[in-house]
Amino acid sequence: MKSCNVCRVPDQTVAFRERMPAGLRVLCAACHVDAITSSVRQVRVPERVQQDRYAQMAVHYNVS
C-alpha cells in the first residue's frame, strides 16, 4: 500500500491527484478533502472610505 504525503499513513484510498501542487499529489481521501476545502479563496471586501452617521458621532463623542 502507498502512504499519504501529508499524514504518512499507508491507506487504501491513497491515489495520485493530478490537479494538486507538486508536494500534495499523492494523498489519501481524507487529506485530499482537507486540501481542497482549505484552498478556497476568501473574498476580501475593501474598507469603506466614508463613515456613516453613527461612526461620525462615535468619533465626535469619543465613544469606542
Per-residue pLDDT of the chain (64 residues; tens, 9 = 90+): 889 988 998 889 999 888 777 777 898 988 888 888 775 566 676 776 677 888 888 889 988 6
Question: Residue 61, SS3?
Answer: coil
56 assigned to some structural domain: no
The total domain count for the chain is: 1
9 assigned to some structural domain: yes
Question: Residue 4, SS3?
Answer: coil
Is the model's pTM score more than 0.75? no
16 assigned to some structural domain: yes
Given a contact cutoff of 8 angstroms between Cβ atoms, the answer to whether 14 and 24 are in contact is: no
Range of the domain at 21: 1-40
